[in-house]
Structure 1
Amino acid sequence: MRQWLMDVSLIDGWLPVTVFVIAVASAVALLIGAIGGGRNGQGKQDGHVRLIVLPLVVAAISGAAGYTLTWLLSDVFVVFGVGLGPRVMAWVAVGFAAVGYAVAHIALRNGMMRAIAALLVVSAILATAIGIDQSYGEYATIGSLFGDDSYSQANLTGLVKRKDLISVSQWRGQVADGTIRNIPSNGTVSKIDIPATESHFKARKALVYLPPAALAEGKRKPALPVILMMSGQPGSPGRAFQAGGIQTMMDGYAKSHDGLAPIVIAADQLGDDSHNTLCVDSKVYGNAFTYLTRDVIDWAKNNLPAAQDAKDWAIAGFSQGATCSLQIGVNHPELFGTMIPTDSEIGPTNGTRQEMIDRFFDGDVEAYESQVPINAIRNRAPTHQTLIMGAGEEDAASARNIRTIAPVAVKAGMHVTAVESIGNAHDWHAVQDVLRYGLAVFGYDTGLSDVRPNLSDYPNLKRVAV
């Protein structure tokens, strides 16, 4: 019963529909009741002003106040670090309006109508919360609100022997001639304790996606490309998978590519939701950089059917994780051939520039500056890495960051595609749009597919001129 409850979807299905229906039905019932009860005992119409007009006026004022407050916090004072986007502000306005309407009725009505108004307060708050969550795509299930997921712990140590691996092209050939059969329909996702042997970083469990080709019968497995994926902050490996829709995306890709898809490792670059490590080694939160670039990569190459060359490795992320993917990817072309950041910051962000220099870099200005993506790109030029950089169309700050960073990458010799996710903001919907296209490019570049992706086939994305 508990697991059933934890698995209930917040994005679609019966729960959101039920909450929305209750909220709308309650509001309509109050309005109909007010119209029906507007005539007083003397047959006068002054009851209409009290029962119909006044709650609507309160609703309008409340909605305007909610929108204005959210706009100030989001776009003027930037309390959340990023803009919330018009959809979220609209949901807040609707929620404030509905609650204001209900409270007015609670004050003016009695009996059953007052009970319906109270129901509207509760359902309106829940509907607003669900609507905002749907706008972000952050929490997919009730369980995800509490950090709960259905992924099982696994031990993948020594899953394959390197001498048994074959190339992707060999795999495709053997599938074509019938040598390889009985490929599973779907891949698997497992929780993994990746040993922090070098870094001693206190990371939470990683999630590892293995595509069907890695699970097929027989010891011969293809050496697969790998995507190292990072959530934003606050965030976790579980949120990267659930909100990012990674398993569904990868399984869908594998179904049309002989069971082939990248291995995806969602590693913990934070250690805790409240920690912004800047993805560097520091005395503040520990050696996040060494964990990602030594412990995680070495473990994957030694234990999974993972390709060894940098050209077969991509690093991706959202928000803070996107910034990390840029600064690490650009500074280490020997590790990553492709970067897929979505809604990246202009540089590492945890306090003021001077505060970061003092806390995380022991006062070393040059060390801090080397982590700012545009500086790292210039320092490493020329480089022929692939950069697929995206942002939500309605995330003005991240869109500006694209227009700042991407031209520098082009000048440095990178293969750059800059895109915006239409109608989305600083949210996981944008991540899914960008990652889906990035997967197609990465798959083509690493030989998983013979079909060169065309951006016009991804209607949710539009190209940004750089």
Structure 2
Amino acid sequence: MTTLLSEAAVAPARRGVSLLHGWLPPTVWAVAAVVLVLAIGWRNRRWRLVWLPVAIVIGLILAGWTHWYIDAQGLAGDPAPDSLWVWVGLTGLAAAVAVLGWRGSRWWRRGVSVVAVPLCLLSAGLALNLWVGYFPTVPAAWNELTAGPLPDETDLATVQGMRGKGAPTHGALVPVDIPQDASGFKHRTELIYLPPAWFAAGAPKLPVVMMIAGEFNTPSDWPRTGNAIATIDSFAAAHGGNAPVFVFVDVGGSFNNDTECVNGPRGNVADHLTKDVPPYVADTFDVQQANWGVVGWSMGGTCAVDLTVMHPELFGSFVDIAGDMGPNAGTKDQTVARIYGGDASQWPVYDPTTVINKHGPYQGVSGWFAISSDAPQQRKGGYGNPNAVGLGGQDAAGNPGDQTDAANSLCGLGRAHGITCAVVASPGKHDWPFAMDVFKASLPWLAGQVGTPGVAKVPLPGDGQGRAPAGVPLQAATH
């Protein structure tokens, strides 16, 4: 039987050699470049005039196709670094050199050519990781790729046996298989975090926060990559063991299934999140059944807003970390085709702007819209600048999906309909470290909003009423 992990295992993702800073990525790139040059060599005239140019063209085609595919599928709003395209192209070049240059090569050059391919592929992976910030350290990457244990991980039988016998020093993370009776959505194993207060005898029913990751995701992303368990454990320790119960849900069913949390041909995810998850969590863990919070990063931020404005009877507070204006899988036509199966009538059903306008006044709903303060024009113009560049790196006026424009628009509309909200800028780019920092900053506010025992309500950053001071860039609150 699995037991509660020691506190030393709480935050393995933050220790070890960094994959986002320091010496490792440039060292790997340098080694890969040297090995690739040795693999190419000078060789003979035919090699230099025929086969090497062919290999270069193959590399350029691979880089160009990858760039086109990412753009065509609407897979990212934040521009990729040039290093990604360079290493994708060099990976194609290395593979072509190994194949086209095999005949007639000496044994050592064949060996170097074979080694160059995985080294270039690894270099492309490091460039990709620098873009999205998915793996902060080498141990975090290894733990994810080998499906290693998560912080505080245990099992349902263990926590049920411990309840009422005193609070442990830290919480527990429980894998669960939530029935899909209402939705039919085939999801992966989801996770429930139980704070120390949940185990205490006679403990009141605790509030719940739903956690949603980005477009490419697993339910373990927030606990593993987002360092959420260490953040929550630390918060609980500072509040006598009190914290919300957290539900780390699956909104994809697979790693690359972009559902935008709607019901559609990619799965009835909206029904899963509102009809499968809440009753199971309430019945199994004896928690509050209303006034849940919801936190989402990137696509998950869009989901957080959508779930709250569509279901205020269930969700009362949200943290939208760099979400879009609404469900987004490219242009509007592409989104309708991809996530609604071509049914244009479903667009307004899940469009937050339409939903808010149709709903009318809200009561008791609040939200934290997190945006980046690091975009160049934002630094010049500050909060409220209509030409500010958001995390997508494009002009907000020309790109309605830009996260800065989306936050300003949705928060402004929300205030007009009774939603208390603030647009909160903090340093960072569109990556997991940014999401992790925003979650840590917003947790005290969110825990108070959902009614966590022993946690006082604190105001949103700004003037305390959810309004940002005109022309003044807000920094993420720390309490």
On whether the aligned pair clears a TM of 0.5, the verdict is yes
Residue matched to 1:53: none
**Is the Cα–Cα contact under 8 Å of residues 224 and 262 in structure 1 kept in the other structure?**
yes
- Structure 1 segment 431-450 matched on structure 2, within 5 A: 431-445=435-449, 446-447=451-452, 448-450=454-456
Structure 2 distance, partners of 1:9, 1:256, is 21
Does 401-410 or 206-215 show the bigger shift?
401-410
- Structure 1 segment 230-379 matched on structure 2, within 5 A: 230-282=212-264, 284-310=265-291, 313-350=292-329, 352-353=332-333, 356=336, 360=340, 363=343, 365=345, 367-379=346-358
**Is the Cα–Cα contact under 8 Å of residues 357 and 368 in structure 1 kept in the other structure?**
no
Unaligned runs of 5+ in 1: 1-7, 34-62, 165-180
Structure 2 distance, partners of 1:65, 1:271, is 32
Does 272-281 or 186-195 show the bigger shift?
272-281
The change in CA–CA distance for 1:336 and 1:350 in structure 2 (over 3 A counts) is same
Partner letter of residue 463 of structure 1?
L
- Displacement after TM superposition at 1:238 (Å): 1.7
1:190 and 2:192 are equivalent in the alignment:
no
Out of 403, 415, 423, which is 2:420 matched to? 415
Partner letter of residue 129 of structure 1?
G
SS in 1 for 2:355: helix
Structure 2 distance, partners of 1:250, 1:191, is 17
1:400 and 2:405 are equivalent in the alignment:
yes
Partner letter of residue 317 of structure 2?
T
Residue matched to 2:133: 137
Residue matched to 2:458: 452
Structure 2 distance, partners of 1:273, 1:23, is 27
Name the % identity: 22
The change in CA–CA distance for 1:147 and 1:83 in structure 2 (over 3 A counts) is farther
For these two proteins, the number of residue pairs brought into alignment is: 404
Q: Which has the higher helix share?
A: 1
The change in CA–CA distance for 1:196 and 1:119 in structure 2 (over 3 A counts) is closer
Deviations along 1:285-343, one digit per CA (max 9) or x if unpaired, are 44322221122111112221422341xx1112223322222112101111111011222
Partner letter of residue 208 of structure 1?
I
1:385 and 2:365 are equivalent in the alignment:
yes
Residue matched to 1:212: 196
Residue matched to 1:38: none
Residue matched to 1:173: none
The change in CA–CA distance for 1:453 and 1:128 in structure 2 (over 3 A counts) is farther
- Displacement after TM superposition at 1:227 (Å): 0.8
Provide the alpha-carbon RMSD of the alignment: 4.7
**Is the Cα–Cα contact under 8 Å of residues 326 and 341 in structure 1 kept in the other structure?**
yes
Unaligned runs of 5+ in 2: 1-10, 39-58, 373-389, 394-401, 463-471
SS in 1 for 2:233: helix
Deviations along 1:52-101, one digit per CA (max 9) or x if unpaired, are xxxxxxxxxxx999999988776xx46543234465x3455578689999
Structure 2 distance, partners of 1:463, 1:78, is 34
Max Rg structure: 1
Structure 1 distance, partners of 2:160, 2:170, is 21
**Is the Cα–Cα contact under 8 Å of residues 67 and 85 in structure 2 kept in the other structure?**
no
- Displacement after TM superposition at 1:141 (Å): 2.2
**Is the Cα–Cα contact under 8 Å of residues 201 and 288 in structure 1 kept in the other structure?**
yes
Out of 7, 13, 16, which is 1:13 matched to? 16
SS in 1 for 2:251: coil
Q: TM-score, normalised by structure 1?
A: 0.69
The change in CA–CA distance for 1:12 and 1:22 in structure 2 (over 3 A counts) is farther
SS in 1 for 2:225: helix
Structure 2 distance, partners of 1:117, 1:360, is 46
- Displacement after TM superposition at 1:195 (Å): 1.7
**Is the Cα–Cα contact under 8 Å of residues 35 and 116 in structure 2 kept in the other structure?**
no
Partner letter of residue 154 of structure 1?
L
Structure 2 distance, partners of 1:220, 1:84, is 48
SS in 1 for 2:350: coil
